[in-house]
């Protein structure tokens, strides 16, 4: 499966993945560029104990804030996810964001879709502070009965006992299966500085052998865990994808208002590669008429190559209704000339047309060949012998 198709499939699988939890028993701005009809053809009609290594009762909510007033949702829940959210313990808010300690049955989620190249996913958090306007994962909060678009980035749930769950549940992972980390929310979003859930998971995985692991993040915080990532990669197949949609910092700030700047992500990529890790850039989602031009893609590819990227992949926008509720009004305000075309295109399907995806793939391949960037991670022969003896390439 090629890079763009893989990225789209990875995004499409999340609805199935999040709904099937493991059981505990087991350059220049392109905004002024003309809209490309050829690429996008007109469609037919205080911290609670137990969350992670840095959580302790001394930083938790004050006693007077406990009880019903400290609950996120007070009405009876209509489903299991909403019930968990209703029982989530309120933690100390920060920067206008509310945090909650979420009890879960486990941390590994089985992904049964045949469209993706991994069998398991891990998401240390629910919700993401980065507030990316296009984020497909906003649907995940609907399982918690949180349907306002702002809830996804302003009500963040950190999963309790994540490391303990993972230590037990890794017994379910069979040889040759793979685990994707960060497919629904960013594992290195700002909450990670406070809660350390992601780091606690790497501490468990550092003792594993022969696993296929994939990490997706758009945060420079990933370099904090270079020591653990190197230990994990010494005995497992680890591929790290830094998501960067544009090298234009001003455009990125519009699209991803609270994510680290692209140059900071590229600096993180440089450090990951200097540490000998397999890391590259994933340009996803590519937005028609906004980031799909050669003027946007070529500078990003050149910057990725300069930072030592091992590969570069790209995938088109995947716009589910929950994401459209945020993204389409944003387009009306910031890119009004594109809004009507987007509304027509995504009225019937969350996917872009196959013709557009094929042309985008061809454009990316042409630019990558010109710049000298591989479209896939290096062959498995470059992985540690202990892992390469058993495994095929993840992704």
Instruction: For residue 125, report the phi and psi dihedrals to the nearest 5 degrees.
Output: -130, 160
Please give the structure tokens belonging to residue 334: 């910031």
Q: pTM of the entire structure? A: 0.77
Task: Read off the pLDDT band of 155 (50, 70, 90).
Answer: confident
What's the average model confidence in pLDDT over 378-386?
52
Name 353's Cβ contacts closer than 8 Å, sequence gap at least 6.
40, 41, 43, 345
Q: Per residue in 244-284, pLDDT tens?
A: 999 999 999 999 999 999 999 999 999 999 999 999 999 99
**pLDDT for res 116:** 67
Q: Which of 51-60, 92-101, 192-201, 369-378 shows the lowest mean pLDDT across its residues?
A: 51-60
CA 131 – CA 136 distance, rounded (Å): 11
CB atoms within 10 A of CB 390: 13
Task: Read off the pLDDT band of 90 (50, 70, 90).
Answer: low
CA 300 – CA 312 distance, rounded (Å): 10
**Whether the Cβ atoms of residue 139 and residue 172 lie closer than 8 Å to each other:** no
CA 395 – CA 118 distance, rounded (Å): 8
Query: Which residue is it, tokens 């692209």?
Result: 262
pLDDT exceeds cutoff 80 at 380: no
Q: Is 213 helix (H, G, I), strand (E, B) or coil?
A: strand
Higher local confidence (pLDDT), 144 or 47: 144
pLDDT > 90: what percent of the chain?
A: 55
Domains for the chain: give ranges and CATH numbers.
3-27+35-388 (3.20.20.70)
Higher local confidence (pLDDT), 242 or 83: 242
Q: Per residue in 157-199, pLDDT tens?
A: 889 899 999 999 999 998 778 999 998 899 999 999 999 999 9
């Amino acid at each position: 499966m090629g890079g763009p198709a893989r990225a789209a499939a990875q995004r499409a699988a999340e609805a199935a993945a999040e709904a099937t939890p493991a059981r505990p028993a087991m350059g220049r701005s392109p905004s002024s560029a003309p809209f490309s009809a050829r690429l996008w053809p007109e469609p037919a009609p205080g911290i609670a104990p137990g969350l992670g290594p840095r959580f302790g009762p001394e930083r938790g909510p004050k006693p007077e804030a406990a009880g019903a007033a400290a609950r996120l949702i007070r009405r009876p829940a209509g489903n299991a996810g909403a019930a968990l959210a209703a029982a989530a313990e309120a933690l100390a808010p920060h920067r206008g964001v509310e945090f909650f300690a979420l009890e879960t049955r486990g941390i590994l989620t089985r992904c049964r879709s045949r469209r993706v190249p991994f069998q398991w996913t891990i998401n240390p958090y629910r919700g993401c502070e980065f507030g990316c306007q296009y984020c497909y994962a906003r649907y995940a909060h609907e399982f918690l009965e949180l349907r306002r678009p702002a809830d996804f980035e302003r009500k963040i749930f950190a999963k309790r006992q994540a490391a303990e769950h993972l230590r037990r549940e890794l017994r379910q992972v069979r040889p040759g299966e793979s685990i994707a980390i960060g497919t629904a929310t960013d594992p290195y979003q700002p909450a990670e500085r406070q809660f350390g859930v992601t780091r606690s998971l790497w501490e468990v995985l550092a003792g594993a052998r022969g696993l296929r692991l994939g990490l997706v993040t758009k945060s420079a915080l990933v370099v904090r865990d270079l020591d653990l990532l190197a230990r994990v990669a010494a005995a497992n197949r680890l591929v790290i994808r830094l998501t960067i949609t544009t090298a234009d910092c001003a455009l990125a700030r519009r699209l991803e208002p609270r994510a680290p700047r692209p140059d900071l992500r590229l600096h993180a990529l440089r450090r990951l590669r200097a540490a000998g890790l397999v890391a590259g850039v994933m340009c996803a989602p590519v937005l028609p008429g906004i980031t799909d031009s050669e003027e946007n893609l070529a500078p990003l590819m050149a910057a990725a190559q300069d930072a030592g990227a091992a590969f570069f992949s790209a995938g088109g926008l995947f716009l589910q209704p929950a994401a459209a509720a945020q993204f389409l009004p944003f387009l009306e305000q910031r890119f009004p000339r594109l809004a009507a075309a987007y509304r027509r295109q995504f009225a019937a399907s969350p996917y872009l047309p196959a013709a557009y995806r094929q042309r985008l793939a061809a454009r990316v391949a042409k630019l990558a060949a010109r710049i000298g960037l591989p479209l896939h991670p290096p062959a498995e022969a470059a992985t540690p012998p202990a892992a390469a003896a058993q495994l095929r390439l993840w992704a």
